Amino acid sequence: MSASSEPEFPKTTAQCTFSAFTNLQQRPSLLTDIRLIHLKPMLERVEFLGGMEGSITRMLVSQFTQILISRGEFVCRFGERGSDMFFIFAGVVDVLLPSENNNDAATPIANANWSGRICVHRRGSHPSVQVGPSANDITRGELPKKSEGGYHKVNEHKDGDFFGDHGLFTNGTRNAHVQAQTSCILYNLSRESMELVFARYPEWKWKVLPTSLVLSRADMMNERAERVKEKMAQVRWTRAHSLQSSLDHLAVVNKFKKIIIRPLSKELSSVTRGVPVQSPLHIFWLRLMVFCTVYIAIITPYQLAIDPMDRLTVTTTIVNVLTLISEAAFVVDVWFSWHVKESKTTMELYEQNVYKKERMLFDVIAASPFYGFLTVFNCSSRLKLLRCFKMLNLMGYLDELSRSRVANELTKFSQVSLVYLLVVYWAACAYLTVAMEIGFGSEWESWLPSKALEISDPQNPSSAQLMLRLLRGLFFATTAFVKKARNIAPDSASAYAFQIAMSFIGLLTMSFVIGELASLFISRSSLEVGFRKNHITVKMYLERVRVSDKLKARTCAFMATLWASHAGLNYDELFADMPREIRSACVLHAVKIPLNWFVMKVIGPICGDADANVEAFALSLAEHLHFEAYSRNEDVITEGRIIRAMYFVTKGFLNMQSSSLLDRPVGLRDGSYFGERGLLDCTISAYTVTTARACDLFL
């Protein structure tokens, strides 16, 4: 075969045979193989898709489309026509039914009328064909839970479930809303894709169609059986309503229960069952543990190396009380962290369990309450340093606090600085502890601290003496870490060993801090570096193609404006990566003033008092808006040319002028719009709109 860049058809019998064998031996798509591993177990649970041949399954999976759904977005709506089937790969969706006229009396009837028609397909079980109400449907007196927005939640689907399978074979409408409770990853199988598989494998088609007919007949039987459920639900709701009416006479008791008993019992029961992750109580507890951990990491070495604080004064009493509270919080934290439960609102933030055995081991060591009691048996008080094992979990607490939001460079810098200062402080306390064991020196100009820093009366130490002890230890630590102060040689072998160990720890600590700060600087300046590289590339390209100096100046002005106004970001590309509803909400917020002004002047008189229609039009218009940035002295619209778009001004100032209609230019600022005639049809512009300064427009 030819090795040229243009493809050629085989010309000889040998070439045809080689091409045929090559196509037959070509491996399938890697994406299809990966999806087949994840989706084949779900396909086996579908009654009419189970037992397929490998080739049919592979072709069917290759027709699947992956869909990303954000929290709160509707997958399908009640009453709309749909011919797609959905498989849930990750996430949770709610099955909702609309309330009829928001009437409480009609609510249970509506729920009973539709709840039986929502088929739940759980993983690990095949869907069963039900042709009548079950015993649980008749005897159960529960009513569906009412949710916000006029909908009633009747069911929910999780990862491994599927829904919408009847739409593949029928032309009916959706019988419920399906809304994403969390961010979801769905796989979509359309009727057109199913028809392609049927055309390729007609034998399998005649095997599937009878099963679909049985399911359709089962639906008809279920609709008849729903009438029985409707009557039973109406009777139970009437009884419950009468019972509630009789209880309303006890107004004082009910009010007391509502205000005091119920909220208190609810909070206690929720704490007993477990606190939802990333809830306000969980965030408060994480912040408390960060404070207690840092406090214990500071006060414990201080008591061992500088001041035991065993005297009875106001300051020492406050410090000891805070120490006891922190130690008690360590004990409670073991139970609290073990009983933190998963929250559906934050399910997508956690791919695995964050409370691992290593973290639990450090919590148990730090929470063991016998360190204070061992001093009674003349054990070393340094066992209290085991409390500082909690510091190994400090970064875990900080990561949990920033899990639901994007941590900026300032937050990361503060965390690195905190760890660095604590290590320096520990080195200072370790130096003073070694000095207490070896003995104080006779003069200031020595490796050991002077005897002037030795506390003669622990019950009444001098504040100046305590401060000098702390500063002497910090001087040693900074010398060992930074290597920029006077380094006095030790006097003994043990002091030499300690000096070498502290110098090595200081080297590792400084390397870690420098690496973290360098990564912070790179991440902060990476956007500017990338933009400058693109700027240089554009300038080199313009010089290579030899464009005019005027065009070069316009290009440089645009690049400078893009960096000065938006730090080089292209907001339209950012909007393109967002889910449709989030993008529409962001655009609607950005163009709120000019869009509302346009709707009020142009669309409002057409729609009359129909506020819903006006809001729907504004939302639909926001979905199709695109962002554009203009530098100064650029023509957005030119007189005499055909305009095909309308512009909303969100930032900047423009001049609109016309040689035939205007005597002087008209200013347009943020909140204005122009080109509305181009929205309806392609017309010739009678105006020229020029930017007076850098502008942000949506069109």
Determine the Cα–Cα distance for residues 336 and 399; give it in Å rounded to an integer.
17
Assign 440 to helix, strand or coil.
coil
| Half-sphere exposure of residue 440: CA atoms within 13 angstroms, side-chain side | 15
Mean per-residue pLDDT, 74-80: 86
pLDDT at residue 5 is higher than 60: no
Backbone angles phi, psi at 685, to 5 degrees: -70, 135
Q: Where residue 293 falls among pLDDT bands split at 50, 70, 90?
A: very high
Supply the pLDDT for residue 425.
93
Confidence of residue 14 (pLDDT cuts 50, 70, 90): low
Q: Which of 420, 436, 527, 434 shows the shortest CA–CA distance to 478? A: 420
Strands of the sheet containing 84-90, edge to edge, are 65-69, 184-190, 84-90, 162-163
Element spanning 637, H or E = strand 635-637
Work out whether strand 145-146 and strand 695-698 pair parallel, antiparallel, or are unpaired.
Answer: unpaired
Helix (H, G, I), strand (E, B), or coil: what is residue 121? Answer: coil
Q: Cβ atoms within 10 A of the Cβ of 368, count?
A: 16
The three-state DSSP-derived secondary structure of 54-71 is HHHHHHHHHCCEEEEECC
456 vs 520 pLDDT, higher one: 520
Label residue 248 by pLDDT band (50, 70, 90): low
* Range with the largest mean pLDDT of 148-152, 244-248, 345-349, 498-502: 498-502
696 compared with 123, residue with greater pLDDT: 696
407: which strand partners? none
Tell me the two tokens of residue 73.
């977005």
pLDDT at residue 407 greater than cutoff 80: no
Say if CB 465 and CB 508 are below 8 A apart.
Answer: no
Lowest mean pLDDT among 369-373, 478-482, 615-619: 369-373
Query: 672 or 270: whose pLDDT is higher?
Result: 672
Residue 334, H or E segment: helix 314-338
What is the rounded CA–CA span in Å between residue 337 and residue 544?
63
| Size of the chain in residues | 699
Of 477, 390, 469, 384, the C-alpha closest to 426 is: 477
Question: With respect to CATH, is domain 30-98+149-233 assigned 3.40.50.720?
Answer: no
**Start-to-end CA span in the chain (Å):** 51
Structure token digits, residue 470: 């702390």
Please name the residue ranges forming H helices in 580-676. 580-590, 592-598, 604-607, 611-623
Question: Could you tell me which of 109, 409, 403 has the C-alpha nearest to residue 279?
Answer: 403
pLDDT of residue 298: 92
User: Which residues 6+ apart lie within 8 Å of 596 measured at CB?
Assistant: 618
Q: Domain segments of the chain: what residues?
A: 30-98+149-233, 273-404, 571-698
Per mean pLDDT, which range of 149-163, 230-244, 267-281, 620-634 is the poorest? 230-244
Residue 588, C-beta contacts closer than 8 angstroms, at least 6 positions apart: 595, 618, 619, 622
CATH fit for domain 571-698, picks 2.60.120.10, 3.30.428.10, 3.40.50.410, 3.40.50.1820: 2.60.120.10
Q: What is the mean pLDDT of residues 470-497?
A: 83
In the sheet with 688-691, reading across from the earlier edge strand, the strands are 635-637, 688-691, 653-657, 666-669
The tokens for 82 are 């749909």
Paired tokens of 657:
């002028």
What token pair was written down for 126? 């095949």
Alpha carbon distance 108, 122 (integer Å)? 25
Q: Is the pLDDT of residue 155 over 90?
A: no
Confidence at residue 130, expressed as pLDDT on a 0 to 100 scale: 34
User: Cα dihedral sign for 294, 295, 299, 300?
Assistant: negative
Whether the per-residue pLDDT at 526 is higher than 70: the answer is yes
For residues 548 and 555, is the Cβ–Cβ distance under 8 A? no
- Token pair, residue 478, equals 């900074």
What's the confidence (pLDDT) of residue 131?
A: 32
Nearest to 315 by CA among 460, 175, 451, 171: 460
Higher pLDDT, 423 or 281: 423
Specify the DSSP element, H or E, that contains 184: strand 184-190
Contacts of 311 (CB under 8 A, 6+ apart): 458, 459, 460
The whole-number pLDDT of residue 206 equals 80
Average pLDDT over the chain, rounded to whole? 76
Q: Can you tell me the distance from the alpha carbon of 294 to that of 283, in angstroms, rounded to the nearest whole number?
A: 17
Radius of gyration of the chain (CA): 36
DSSP label of 392: G
Task: Look at residues 163, 13, 11, 152 and name the one whose alpha carbon lies nearest to residue 75.
Answer: 163
Cα of 41 vs its chain's centroid, Å: 28
CA distance linking residue 678 with residue 694, whole number of Å: 23
Give the helix/strand (H/E) hosting 114: helix 107-115
Q: Which residues make Cβ contacts (< 8 Å) with residue 382, sequence separation at least 6?
A: 304
- Inter-residue contact 480 to 471 (CB < 8 Å): no
Q: What is the pLDDT of residue 142?
A: 37
Using pLDDT thresholds of 50, 70 and 90, give the confidence band for residue 7: very low
Across residues 1-27, what is the average pLDDT? Answer: 49
Query: Which two tokens mark 55?
Result: 């080739």
Tens of pLDDT, residues 52-72: 777 888 888 888 888 888 888
Distance CA 161, CA 362 (A): 39
| 394 closest CA partner among 481, 301, 287 | 287
Copy the structure tokens of residue 134.
């079950």
Q: In which residue are the tokens 């290009």 written?
A: 555
- Coil, strand or helix at 655: strand
SS3 609: coil
